[in-house]
Amino acid sequence: MTFTGVFQMAITLLIMVIAAIPLSRYLSHVFNGEKTFLDFLFTPVENLTFRFLNVNKKEETDWVRYLKTGLIINFLMLAIVYFILKFQNYLPFNQMRYKGLSWDLDFNTAISFITNTNWQNYGGEEVLSNFSQMALVFLQFTSAATGLVFAVAFIRGLVRREAKYVGNFYVDFIKGIYRLFLPLAILFAVIMLWQGAPQTFSMQKKVTNMTGVKQTLSVGPVASMTAIENLGTNGGGFYDANAAQPYENPNPFTNALIIFMMGTIPIALFLMYGIMIGNKKHAWTLFAVAMTLIVVCLAVIYSQEASGNPFLSKLGANIHVSKNNPGGNMEGKQEHIGIAQTSLFATATTAFTTGNVDSAHDSFMPLSGMILMSEMMLNLIFGGKGVGLLNMLTMVIIGVFIAGLMVGRTPEFLGKKIEAKEVKLATLAMFAHAFIILIPFAITVAIPAGLAEIFNPGPHGLSEILYAYTSTVANNGSAFAGLNGNTLFYNISLGLTVFFGRYVPIICQVAIAGSLIKKKSIPESAGTFPAHGPLFYAVVMGTILLVGALTFFPALALGPIAEHFAMAEGHLFY
């Protein structure tokens, strides 16, 4: 570990937080329907869209209608993209004449992109036409907006009292895309373009390299995809190798920029929540919980990676940091990015559930691998667009319920009583998350179709499978390489876990909003325990660690923890 390394990480995180503050203010104005400085630009375009869609922007609906509309639109888009990928050979921008995807890979890919997961069982540049890539980009916008607006609906459930209507899905959805994702995507696409990412409709470029060898480069609309891929915490890159491919991530600056793109909006959403509910202190406390988790995870990963594999040291490799030696565990990492920024990237991509990778997570030290998985198992360290906040609030509801009883009142959260219905839905959302990871995982390690595709034997192989299901259920999409996912079994099983991992918790959470919105709000008194400050922090953190994380302990014990101790004992699996 070096001072420069720590400094790099700290400054990146700090800039994200600083940028998130004004962004959160802007977003709260957008979703509260208040004036913003960009109204002159967006209002006319929005009105045109609403007229075209025949949407009355003043009409609001209850949570059932809101949820239904959102889900139907999601499934519709899913079908459209499925057919685009299936029949890409009949569609434009396919100079390479790539064939349509096999049905199972297509199923997996389409579901993966509509759910903001972007698990990729294909190598983008080798199987997808530019039209197909752009169809996926379309989903990268809409899936991010979907998560975001459900979170907005939830917030309204907390804010509004004795009400019924949570908002208008179409209006929120369009606003999210027009006023947040589109402008930022354009801005960052231009920056990526400037930094060297390709942006073209042609699919290949033939060049002669420095040694005189002729080479064919895969190109396409890369810069634009990279922007929304990260801004929408999607994580599905143009290239197979995602940000480990230099066209997607040309230099250390873009590496930091990508981290910035991934994290700023999720952080801003936490703060936006604080503004919308009128309790900024509460939101900052949740921010502190998530930030603590990030910093702890980062510290473990960075220290593990920086100290490297003791085995290599025994074999005579020099893993100490020096001027010309990055030291530590450099396997699967890029020289020009280095251990510090790679550690931050890996922490960020799992915390913000983006899934974009700039290194091989498979090659990380066992405990680093465990941390990466844990971040996705929690799925609330700022998390993906909207859903991270939703998951955090789900845990908060469970925590407030238990702790609230301890002050001698029916638990209240922001003035609203937490009763049987909310507890049922919140615990169900939490249960679904664990169930959908653990059960398919257990089935997979028990059947030949599952075991056939792992790369490493022993605990690492177990980790590979566990990582896959964790990543898909958390809608992260990053992979612990090693596992070959493009088989009928994995395409279907991972596709299904992606699907249920996304929608079951969301349905529960929006239903909570529907239940909360009807309630009266009880004014705060000395008898209600404050939803901010160190005590609340301890309650939320305790709930996350005891209720949210303990579930995964046995699986982690046999995977990364076992690998770690075996390594310490000098035992290898190969």
Partner 1 sequence: MPQKSYYVSAFSKKILSSAIRDSFKKLNPKVLIKNPVMFVVEIGAVITTILLVKDLFLHNFKFISFIFQITIWLWFTVLFANFAESISEGRGKAQADSLRKTKTEVIARLLKINGREEKIKASQLRKGDVIIAETGDTIPADGEIIEGIASVDESAITGESAPVIRESGGDRSAVTGGTKVLSDKILIKVTSNPGEGFIDKMISLVEGASRQKTPNEIALNILLVVLTALFLVVVVTITPMAGYFHGYISPVILVALLVCLIPTTIGALLSAIGISGMDRLVKHNVIAMSGKAVEAAGDVNTLLLDKTGTITFGNRMAVSFIPAPGVNVNELADYAQLSSLSDETPEGRSIVTLAKQYGLRGRHIDEKNVKFIPFSAMTRMSGVDIADKKESVRKGAVEAVVKFVEQNKGTVDKNTIKNAEEISKKGGTPLAVAINNRMLGIIHLKDVVKGGIKERINSLRKIGIKTIMITGDNPLTAKAIADEAGVDEFVAEATPETKMAIIKKEQGLGKLIAMTGDGTNDAPALAQADVGVAMNTGTMPAKEAGNMIDLDSNPTKLIEIVEIGKQLLITRGSLTTFSIANDVAKYFAIIPAMFAPVFPWLAPLNIMGLSSPGSAILSAVIFNAVIIIILVPLALRGVKYKPAAASSILTRNLLIYGFGGLIVPFIGIKLIDIIITYLHLV
Judged by beta carbon, residue 315 or residue 446, the one nearer partner 1 is 446
Chain centroid, CA 384 distance in Å: 4
What six digits make up the tokens of 337? 């990015």
Q: Binding of partner 1 at residue 21 (CB under 8 A)?
A: no
Q: Angle CA(361)–CA(366)–CA(368) in degrees, nearest 5?
A: 60
Q: Binding of partner 1 at residue 316 (CB under 8 A)?
A: no
| Other beta carbons less than 10 A from residue 59's beta carbon | 11
Stretch that binds partner 1, among 220-228, 243-251, 385-393, 518-526 (CB under 8 A): 518-526
Distance (Å) of CA 179 to CA 61, 319, 388, 453, 496: 22, 48, 20, 43, 32
Judged by beta carbon, residue 96 or residue 445, the one nearer partner 1 is 445
Query: What one-character DSSP code corresponds to residue 476?
Result: -
Query: What one-character DSSP code corresponds to residue 410?
Result: S
Q: Binding of partner 1 at residue 535 (CB under 8 A)?
A: yes
What six digits make up the tokens of 520? 């009266």
Q: Binding of partner 1 at residue 455 (CB under 8 A)?
A: no
Q: Binding of partner 1 at residue 492 (CB under 8 A)?
A: no
Stretch that binds partner 1, among 30-38, 152-160, 479-487, 521-529 (CB under 8 A): 521-529
What six digits make up the tokens of 268? 């801003």
Q: Where are the alpha helices (H) located in 208-251, listed in sequence order?
A: 222-231
Judged by beta carbon, residue 335 or residue 569, the one nearer partner 1 is 569
Distance (Å) of CA 246 to CA 84, 302, 365, 381: 28, 23, 24, 28
CA dist 431 and 473 (Å) reads 12
Q: Angle CA(556)–CA(290)–CA(359) in degrees, nearest 5?
A: 60
Q: Binding of partner 1 at residue 51 (CB under 8 A)?
A: no
Stretch that binds partner 1, among 244-252, 355-363, 488-496, 539-547 (CB under 8 A): 539-547
Among 445, 476, 503, 516, binds partner 1 (CB under 8 A): 445
Interaction pattern, residues 396-435, with partner 1; x per rule: CB under 8 A: --x--xxxxxxxxxx----x--xxx-xxx--xx-xx--xx
Closest CA to 270 of 27, 570, 563: 27
Q: Binding of partner 1 at residue 278 (CB under 8 A)?
A: no
Q: Binding of partner 1 at residue 521 (CB under 8 A)?
A: yes
CA dist 65 and 111 (Å) reads 23
CA dist 310 and 442 (Å) reads 31
CA dist 489 and 481 (Å) reads 17
CA dist 63 and 506 (Å) reads 12
Judged by beta carbon, residue 20 or residue 562, the one nearer partner 1 is 562
Q: Binding of partner 1 at residue 359 (CB under 8 A)?
A: no
Judged by beta carbon, residue 165 or residue 435, the one nearer partner 1 is 435
Q: Binding of partner 1 at residue 311 (CB under 8 A)?
A: no
Among 10, 41, 217, 439, binds partner 1 (CB under 8 A): 439
Among 22, 44, 310, 527, binds partner 1 (CB under 8 A): 527
Min dist. Cβ of residue 486 to partner 1 (A): 22
Q: Binding of partner 1 at residue 547 (CB under 8 A)?
A: yes
- Measured between its terminal Cα atoms, the distance across the chain in Å is 29
Q: Binding of partner 1 at residue 451 (CB under 8 A)?
A: yes
Q: Binding of partner 1 at residue 562 (CB under 8 A)?
A: yes
Q: Binding of partner 1 at residue 523 (CB under 8 A)?
A: yes
Residues near partner 1 (CB under 8 A) are 161, 398, 401-410, 415, 418-420, 422-424, 427-428, 430-431, 434-435, 438-439, 441-443, 445-446, 451, 458-459, 461-462, 520-523, 525-530, 533, 535, 538-539, 542, 546-547, 550-551, 553-555, 557-558, 561-562, 565-566, 568-569, 571
